[in-house]
A and B are shown apart, each in its own frame.
Chain A
């Protein structure tokens, strides 16, 4: 019996994936309901409390307090929203831009294919993340600019992925017959090609979400991403950096949030890939 929910059974297929699913649910919950579940919502939002600075982890403040006396757990819970939003936005926009260009390149072929592929190759001729770092520097530091900079270096992967898939589907007999019968390109692209590239697209998106959280955290850590007083994990690691030997909890727990979020997304990405591509799973 395959129920609607049964489709998602791969999320609990083994203990590791189950743990990852639970962790991801916690992060999503924190992103949505942050202000209601944070123990000190005002401090999470940025209100300082200078009487309480550098309190170690304990009963009152589970993860301690930071350099402005704010409850660290509340700050981390507030940080979930920007982290997940930036991941969704970067991967979403990159996937949309890349899919559009990839479909055009793969379906049309010819010179337009050449142009799109050469341009995407160009973007990929830099080591990963370098182009984003340079772009955000010249755009000016900040969360939105970091987002734009990450999209700039992420779309070519999608364009190339989709182009390959579109190229394969294009030469299938049923697509050629549809074209010969006079079905408009627009409909062939949406009905046949787009539908056939959905699976690799979903797998790629799932695999990329964690990587984007990591990349955004890295930008924030060196000061090119979110700016104070934002509750941003990468930024919080940077703020606790010089205190690592004494007030160790600030950087440790903020970084742990990044690590666990990326880890759970990566594990679920793996599970999703195995689910859709049983050839790899068997190995």
Chain B
């Protein structure tokens, strides 16, 4: 329990600091947030009035305390470009992004680990080289470029998959999705709207593949390296000397002990996916946080940027926390530390 408590307190500290960094970046560096709010044509009097309304005339520490107070109370400010509450925008868009991350991550974990295990089993052979090249290509591939290539090939030339969007446009007339949890594909599945489910999954394939390339590469490399490291240890040799079957040694003994580092890398690559969605959603016009983030960045929509940054920091913390929990589950020694 102690470790949980330690984790939580350090997480709180990180959040405080993270909010401080975003706040500082947004308040100290830009020319004038008031100007960003009303546009360059505003008169000096207007901008002075707005500075008072927005509380920008107060000292920075006071502003920061106010910001934290309001953030904790669910007031994340209003987006400058959509004029909607930032928190509402985020809540509306988060499910689409989480679904995308879920599918991308599932793909990356299943195929990445499988390929890594396969490469380890055939170390030094032809299969190993092919997987090595695929893995290093995966981590070297610009996601936005891969997205465009897949669009051109599978949507443009072959027309197997739609090029952009989350659903067909006429779907909301033919088979409208009843909102239950807010997660569109999930909702369509539990309400029995299978036409929408299939349509959503069809739209999911290219973006999820694009997003998963990096994690796939990272995971298969790590799985291979860790498995080989475990395989070279003495207890594996002993198990083999006792005549245990190769399959038992490989899957039961070696893979089980290679799992903790794989979990770490899975967490790390999920964190990469957070910023990865920015580029992938941009390319595929995906109505999630990523495209909202890019639009906010381009229009210097500072309340939105602060909200998204805070959300991303929270997401990162949650991922690390989950990774720690799984570690503790896989390796009971963690609790003793």
- Judge if B56 is at the interface, Cβ distance under 8 Å: no
Q: Which of B132-156 contact A (CB under 8 A)?
A: 132-133, 136-137, 139-145, 148-149, 151-152, 156
CA distance A126 to B278 in the complex (A): 15
Q: Which of A126, A210, A267 has the most CB of B within 10 A?
A: A126
Q: Mark B278-302, 1 if CB is under 8 A from A, else 0.
A: 1100110000000001100110101
| List of B residues within 8 angstroms of A217 by Cβ | 142
Contact of A128 among B225, B229, B275, B293 (CB under 8 A): B275
If the complex has contacts A134-B309, A222-B278, A222-B294, are A241 and B140 also in contact, measured as CB distance less than 8 A?
A: no
**Closest Cβ neighbor of B221 among chain A residues:** A270
Please state if B142 and A262 are interface contacts (CB–CB under 8 Å). yes
- Judge if B68 is at the interface, Cβ distance under 8 Å: no
Contact of A258 among B14, B142, B272, B298 (CB under 8 A): B142
| List of B residues within 8 angstroms of A183 by Cβ | none
Please state if A266 and B139 are interface contacts (CB–CB under 8 Å). yes
Q: Mark A59-72, 1 if CB is under 8 A from B, else 0.
A: 00000000000000
CA distance A126 to B15 in the complex (A): 10
- Judge if A74 is at the interface, Cβ distance under 8 Å: no
Interface-forming stretch among A102-110, A194-202, A247-255? A247-255
Contact of B275 among A127, A138, A245 (CB under 8 A): A127
- Judge if B315 is at the interface, Cβ distance under 8 Å: yes
Please state if A130 and B294 are interface contacts (CB–CB under 8 Å). no
> Interface size bucket, A side?
35 or more
Interface-forming stretch among B25-33, B236-244, B246-254? B25-33
- Judge if B6 is at the interface, Cβ distance under 8 Å: no
A-B contact pairs, 28 of them (CB 8 A): A122-B17, A125-B17, A127-B271, A127-B272, A133-B278, A134-B309, A137-B300, A138-B302, A214-B142, A217-B142, A218-B279, A222-B144, A222-B278, A222-B279, A237-B142, A237-B145, A241-B148, A245-B152, A252-B152, A255-B144, A255-B145, A256-B145, A259-B137, A259-B145, A262-B140, A266-B139, A267-B136, A270-B136
If the complex has contacts A222-B294, A244-B151, A267-B136, are A283 and B232 also in contact, measured as CB distance less than 8 A?
A: yes
Please state if B298 and A218 are interface contacts (CB–CB under 8 Å). no
- Judge if A181 is at the interface, Cβ distance under 8 Å: no
Q: Which of A135-160 contact B (CB under 8 A)?
A: 135, 137-139
| List of A residues within 8 angstroms of B309 by Cβ | 126, 130, 134
Within the complex, what minimum Cβ distance (angstroms) separates B33 from chain A? 10
Within the complex, what minimum Cβ distance (angstroms) separates B152 from chain A? 5
9 A-B pairs with the lowest CB-CB distances in the bound complex, closest first: A255-B145, A138-B29, A263-B140, A262-B140, A127-B274, A283-B228, A245-B156, A129-B275, A125-B14
Please state if A122 and B18 are interface contacts (CB–CB under 8 Å). yes
- Judge if B305 is at the interface, Cβ distance under 8 Å: yes
Within the complex, what minimum Cβ distance (angstroms) separates B322 from chain A? 15
CA distance A122 to B305 in the complex (A): 18
Please state if A126 and B313 are interface contacts (CB–CB under 8 Å). yes
Residues of chain B having any CB pair with chain A under 8 Å? 14, 17-18, 21-22, 25-26, 29-30, 129, 132-133, 136-137, 139-145, 148-149, 151-152, 156, 225, 228-229, 232, 271-272, 274-275, 278-279, 282-283, 293-294, 297-298, 300, 302, 305, 309, 312-313, 315-317
CA distance A134 to B302 in the complex (A): 9
- Judge if A78 is at the interface, Cβ distance under 8 Å: no
| List of B residues within 8 angstroms of A252 by Cβ | 148-149, 152
If the complex has contacts A130-B274, A134-B25, are A258 and B136 also in contact, measured as CB distance less than 8 A?
A: no
Within the complex, what minimum Cβ distance (angstroms) separates B217 from chain A? 10
Contact of B297 among A16, A121, A137 (CB under 8 A): A137
| List of B residues within 8 angstroms of A135 by Cβ | 25, 29
Please state if B297 and A218 are interface contacts (CB–CB under 8 Å). no
Within the complex, what minimum Cβ distance (angstroms) separates B145 from chain A? 3
Within the complex, what minimum Cβ distance (angstroms) separates B15 from chain A? 8
CA distance A105 to B26 in the complex (A): 29
Within the complex, what minimum Cβ distance (angstroms) separates B23 from chain A? 11
**Closest Cβ neighbor of A123 among chain B residues:** B21
| List of B residues within 8 angstroms of A262 by Cβ | 140-142
**Closest Cβ neighbor of A121 among chain B residues:** B14
If the complex has contacts A126-B312, A222-B294, A258-B142, are A283 and B229 also in contact, measured as CB distance less than 8 A?
A: yes
If the complex has contacts A125-B14, A222-B278, A222-B279, are A255 and B232 also in contact, measured as CB distance less than 8 A?
A: no
**Closest Cβ neighbor of B144 among chain A residues:** A221
Q: Which of A187-238 contact B (CB under 8 A)?
A: 210, 214, 217-218, 221-224, 234, 237
| List of B residues within 8 angstroms of A5 by Cβ | none
CA distance A241 to B298 in the complex (A): 17
